[in-house]
Amino acid sequence: MTFCYIKQTCILSLFIQNGQIDKISIEDLQKQFFNFSQLELRQQAIYFLTQNKDLQQKLIQEIDQNTDQLAQALSNLPYLNATLKETLRCQGSGNILLDRIAVKEHYLDDIKIEKGVIINVYMKSVHRDSRFYTDPHCYNPQRWLETKENKSLHPYTYLPFSAGPKNCIGQHLALIEARIILNSLIKNFNFELNEGYQLILDFKFSPQLLNPLQIHFNRR
């Protein structure tokens, strides 16, 4: 069964909440999978896992060994968190969300910025900068588990939810949702991408798929 981007009222959360995920039909799962807030995070995480079978297996092993399904316990799963964090670095759900207005005239190197000018930071360029990340174009959750690289990062080089006092107020809820949903899906399914599929994105306010993400969900 191939799964595509379909919009419909979400019921998957109710099945998870009531412990009935194994009773949901493939057809219903197809309709529900991409209809969550922060849907880009989940679909991109699944995409990257299908492209890196060894990483998918590491995540499966960690999730299978965990017996506590409460949100707090899931927040302590290192590889699950590293997977989400690396997904946000490589392909976050926002690109141009850091609008700021210059409160005074100043210079950025030799570029004059007038007072009142709107300035925007393109997050993707920061997240793929080799000055901050080793092999920045490589999807590697392990980088967030290695103390040396992790601790050396300046806080303003990782910006999936913006930064500073006006960062995203929903980031914690988004991550809680992502952990719960990805954990439940990993426990019940293996993922495979349609042969020959190519991910093509249109970078607007947030990355938009130009061709539906086609995933095979195989019950474990």
pLDDT tens digit sequence for 163-209 = 777 777 778 888 998 999 899 999 998 888 888 888 887 766 666 77
**Nearest partner of 42 among 184, 154, 145, judged by Cα:** 184
Maximum CA extent, the chain? 62
pLDDT for 4 = 39
Three-class DSSP category at 27: helix
End-to-end CA distance of the chain: 14
> Is residue 70 in a domain?
yes
- Whose structure tokens read 């316990």? 73
Over residues 102-115, the mean pLDDT reads 90
User: Which structural domain range is residue 164 located in?
Assistant: 2-90+127-219
Helix axes 78-91, 171-188, angle to 10 degrees: 110
Nearest to 42 by CA among 90, 84, 89: 84
Partner residues linked to 218 by β-bridges:
190
Strand-pair category, 111-113 with 2-3: unpaired
Provide the whole-model pTM.
0.75
Long-range pairs for 112-119: beta carbons < 8 A, 24 or more residues apart: none
According to the 3-state scheme, what is the secondary structure of 131-160?
Answer: CCCCCCCCCCHHHHCCHHHHHHCCHHHCCE
Q: What is the mean pLDDT of residues 28-34?
A: 50
- How far, in Å, CA of 132 to CA of 149, rounded? 9
- 197 located within any domain: yes
> For residue 49, what pLDDT is reported?
92
Asked if residues 44 and 27 have their Cβ atoms less than 8 Å apart, the reply is no
Q: Report if residue 98 sits inside a domain.
A: no
Q: For residue 107, is it within any domain?
A: no
Identify whether 56 is part of a domain: yes
24: left (phi over 0), alpha (psi -120 to 50) or beta: beta
Residues 71-98 as b or e (16 or more Cβ within 10 Å = b):
eeebeebebbbbbbbbbbbbbbbbbebb
Residues 6+ apart with CB under 8 A from 124: 92, 95, 203
CB within 8 A of 52, min separation 6: which ones? 139
118-165 pLDDT tens trace: 888 778 888 999 999 999 999 999 999 976 767 778 888 888 887 777
Q: Which of 1-5, 49-53, 216-220 has the highest mean pLDDT?
A: 49-53
Q: Residue 57: pLDDT band by 50, 70, 90 thresholds?
A: very high
The predicted pLDDT at position 20 comes to: 63
Q: What is residue 75's predicted lDDT score, i.e. its pLDDT?
A: 94
* Total tally of structural domains belonging to the chain: 1
Give the model's confidence band at 48: pLDDT under 50 very low, under 70 low, under 90 confident, else very high: very high
Q: Look up the CATH number of the domain holding residue 184.
A: 1.10.630.10
